[in-house]
Amino acid sequence: MSDPHQHKRERRKQDRPGELLEAALDLFVEKGFAATRAEEVAVRAGVSKGTLFLYFPSKEELFKAVVMENVARPVAQGITEAENFTGSSGELLTWMMLEWWRRYGATKASGISKLMMSEAGNFPELAQFFRSNVIQPAQSLVRMVLQRGIDRGDFRAIDVDNTIYSVMAPLIFLVMEKHSTGACSGPQPSINPEQFITHHADLLVRGMAPGH
Amino acid sequence: MSDPHQHKRERRKQDRPGELLEAALDLFVEKGFAATRAEEVAVRAGVSKGTLFLYFPSKEELFKAVVMENVARPVAQGITEAENFTGSSGELLTWMMLEWWRRYGATKASGISKLMMSEAGNFPELAQFFRSNVIQPAQSLVRMVLQRGIDRGDFRAIDVDNTIYSVMAPLIFLVMEKHSTGACSGPQPSINPEQFITHHADLLVRGMAPGH
Amino acid sequence: MSDPHQHKRERRKQDRPGELLEAALDLFVEKGFAATRAEEVAVRAGVSKGTLFLYFPSKEELFKAVVMENVARPVAQGITEAENFTGSSGELLTWMMLEWWRRYGATKASGISKLMMSEAGNFPELAQFFRSNVIQPAQSLVRMVLQRGIDRGDFRAIDVDNTIYSVMAPLIFLVMEKHSTGACSGPQPSINPEQFITHHADLLVRGMAPGH
Amino acid sequence: MSDPHQHKRERRKQDRPGELLEAALDLFVEKGFAATRAEEVAVRAGVSKGTLFLYFPSKEELFKAVVMENVARPVAQGITEAENFTGSSGELLTWMMLEWWRRYGATKASGISKLMMSEAGNFPELAQFFRSNVIQPAQSLVRMVLQRGIDRGDFRAIDVDNTIYSVMAPLIFLVMEKHSTGACSGPQPSINPEQFITHHADLLVRGMAPGH
DNA sequence: CATGAATGAGTGTTCATTCAT
DNA sequence: CATGAATGAACACTCATTCAT
């Protein structure tokens, strides 16, 4: 790190875990845990099968590392942006849901969430970690926005705890859809995610409107 | 049927499919489709591996039978009941969502839905089967209820297609919650599903209310 | 047997072994020993799987019985006919080869010979039996015809022992062809057996012609 | 090759395919294609089951490789040698038939041909492969020789297509004899293959002689 | 005698993991 | 450190054989 004269080879060595994690992320998201072969990960990372097991003692540990590495990242950003928002709470809610989809749901990274839900049963520690570091912060963010709406008089005094799920459920649903049945391109009319989010947010905002 | 003196062999034969289906449901829900071994199903049903294949020609067909028995059946039932409902469409919608949860979502069988979302990518034929026999009928049912609301003047002329997902997403969400992260019993305050459904239905019905 | 009043049921019982052997012959010829399933034989014979094992203690014993039953039959006939033949020995040879093909080679029964050659390694006793009861009598017949030709001056004093094989080999070849690769209907130009036999016999007769 | 210090691992790796092919040839010939278990081949070659599939993607491909190595190769060789032959066509035919027997028919490898005739019906793809890579080239070779004889005036203008079978049938017959009924060593007077071939070739050449 | 439900050993193939080089 | 050859447990499915009825 502090020596600028280190060999290129050595620099590569330090990057190995990162390259492996990246390759593993791609493949786990694309094919699931069981269907991803260890050798495939190694090949995509440009190393041999043996090397993979040099850095990660087993496929399970590799999976855990992938989730740990990718799961915490995109949480905090949304919070500060929401705090600086200066419009109606309905607009904020709609904007937030759409942005979440654009920045996260629509990207490869959302595959991690799908992965977590799919494999939670087999990796309870991960599930716990995911809950603490992703789900609960996200819930806090939504709670903040709903409370802002109530405080500003944009919303009725709705049941905040349950409404949080009314906000999050469709987003989770879209992610699952995108990464599971939605993947099977068939002739069925697929959802248009942004349109659906807009529609759902509108329904919620109307449903939370004060004055009834 | 009317002969109490039927042979023990025959009595068992008639029971086999049911016993196998039950064992298969348990194991598929517990471990997923791919990770459930055919022999394990047989053993849990108290028979040998060969016997399983005497009644179901393949693991995939066994799974389909489990789906038909446990998932498609409740949907079909819901349809006839919805057709005979005589109240406001808001009441119907709420009742339907709650009933779906009580009869299906809250039961072991809902694990099949979770499983399908997790493994759909790796078993396209099963995914297609599930889509045809479960998802599409369910969507039709919801569409019917929403259209009824519009026709009766209970609802605005809302965008039916997207609203279908606003109705289904929270139910899917509850199922995922129950079978993945929610399965890790921690000290976290869990959702109360019936309360949430009631709340969400109320939000939707208000959001769809005519006259605005 | 001596009681004409026996029940139809009982008469059937006595026929069972024969019916099973017939069904087994068909299937063994059609699909080979390994690929023929015991149940299929039973079904074709109109009985249950269990019944088959009541009459034959194993699939191997069934096979042996099939061969024993069918193998000895069509040998003796040719001999008497050859003895009464009143033409040139070349005509006799050609006629005999063609008749053998028409009466035996072209029929289902020739499948037995193919079967024997294919499975001889697994059933040495059968192979020995086949050799004694089929091959050697047939060789004697051919020897007789060749000797007649030499005695009458129709043929040179050829090496009879080896010429026997020159006569039989193409017939065996046709049987193998018919029951193995020939079975795979492809676009390849197949042999016309009678034409080939006529041609081969002509070559042999010319090759054995005296006076060179 | 030129480096005597290559690793033991690598040296073994290069030898693996050959060792496996040899083991496979032995077992296929001894027990047939279907009855030979993949693991048995591996064990006889001194490796584990998994290793076999490292070198050959399936049992069928292993078999095809055995065919190419042991059966197709001699045929190809014969073609070039026949092209360079400078004697009468009768001598060429006799020489070719004898050489075929010495180099192939008399060896273990000829068991492959016997095996193919026995199992062709159950493995159509293998049969097709054998037909394309062995039978048709062999027929072409014989056709070439016969045509050469006609062109040079060594033979009459015989029916080439049928004569091909007159040439090949006794060779096939010898192979079947060697690997089936002939395998059961009994006191019976066996054929002397080379003597028979010489005799048969002589008969054919005489039968094809021009001028009658 | 006859049935057919039940059995379980057997087989080709995959893949996470190890370890000699 | 890195490699990749080798391993062997695992798994869905088949079918000859048994035996309770």
Using the Cβ of C121 and the Cβ atoms of chain D, whether some distance falls under 8 Å is answered with yes
User: Do A184 and B128 lie within an 8 Å CB cutoff?
Assistant: yes
**Residues near D188 by beta carbon (within 8 Å), at least 6 away in sequence:** C131, C136
Does D44 have pLDDT greater than 50? yes
Using the Cβ of B35 and the Cβ atoms of chain A, whether some distance falls under 8 Å is answered with yes
CA-to-C1' span, D122 to F20 (A): 37
Identity of residue C16: R
C49 touches strand E (CB under 7 A): yes
- The CA distance from D152 to C115, in Å, is 43
More confident residue, C64 or D10: C64
For residue D168, list chain C residues with Cβ-Cβ distance below 8 A: 173
The chain A residue lying nearest B112, using CA atoms, is A118
Q: For residue A47, give how far its alpha carbon lies from the nearest alpha carbon of chain B (Å).
A: 26
Residue A133's pLDDT is: 86
The chain B residue lying nearest A134, using CA atoms, is B181
Residue A8's pLDDT is: 46
pLDDT band at D189 (very low <50, low <70, confident <90, very high): low
- The CA distance from B130 to B120, in Å, is 9
Among B105-119, B197-211, C183-197, the least confident range: C183-197
Domains of chain D (ranges; CATH) run 1-57 (1.10.10.60), 64-208 (1.10.357.10)
- DSSP 8-state class, residue A211: -
Nucleotide nearest to A12 (CA to C1'): F1
Highest mean predicted confidence (pLDDT) among B56-65, B203-212, D4-13: B56-65
pLDDT band at B3 (very low <50, low <70, confident <90, very high): very low
Please list the rounded mean pLDDT of every run of 10 residues in chain A (212 residues): 48 74 93 92 95 95 90 72 92 95 90 89 86 88 96 96 97 91 61 96 96 68
DSSP string across B181-206: GGGS--SS----HHHHHHHHHHHHHH
Structure tokens at D4: 């005597």
User: Do D121 and C208 lie within an 8 Å CB cutoff?
Assistant: no
Q: For residue B190, give how far its alpha carbon lies from the nearest alpha carbon of chain A (Å).
A: 10
- The CA distance from C40 to C23, in Å, is 9
∠ CA A108-A114-A115 to the nearest 5 degrees?
Answer: 95
Structure tokens at C10: 């009982």
Q: Which of D28, D108, D133, D176 to mutate to test the interface with C (most CBs of C within 10 A)?
A: D176
**Residues near A164 by beta carbon (within 8 Å), at least 6 away in sequence:** A139, A142, A143, A146
Using the Cβ of D173 and the Cβ atoms of chain C, whether some distance falls under 8 Å is answered with yes
Q: What share of chain C is helix, strand, coil (3-state, %, to 5)?
A: 75, 0, 25
Residue A81's pLDDT is: 85
C-beta separation of C80 from C73 below 8 A = no
Give the tens place of pLDDT for each residue, C34-63. Answer: 889 999 999 999 999 999 999 999 999 999
3-state secondary structure chain A: CCCCCCCHHHHHHHHHHHHHHHHHHHHHHHHCCCCCCHHHHHHHCCCCHHHHHHHCCCHHHHHHHHHHHHHCHHHHHHHHHHHCCCCCHHHHHHHHHHHHHHHHHCCCCHHHHHHHHHHHHHCHHHHHHHHHHHHHHHHHHHHHHHHHHHHHCCCCCCCHHHHHHHHHHHHHHHHHHHHCHHHCCCCCCCCCHHHHHHHHHHHHHHHHCCCC
Residue D4's pLDDT is: 45
Nucleotides of strand F under 7 angstroms from a protein beta carbon: 1-21
Give the tens place of pLDDT for each residue, C138-174. Answer: 999 999 999 999 999 999 999 999 999 999 999 999 9
User: CB A2: neighbour CB atoms within 10 A?
Assistant: 4
pLDDT band at D2 (very low <50, low <70, confident <90, very high): very low
Nearest CB partner across the interface for D183, out of C120, C176, C186: C120
Nearest CB partner across the interface for B206, out of A34, A127, A207: A207
Give the closest residue to C133 by CA, choosing from D181, A103, A13, A144. Answer: D181
- The CA distance from C126 to C34, in Å, is 16
Smallest Cα–C1' distance to nucleotide F15: which residue has it?
A: C37
Q: Is residue C50 within a helix (H) or strand (E), and if so which, with residue range?
A: helix C49-55
What does pTM read for this prediction? Answer: 0.87
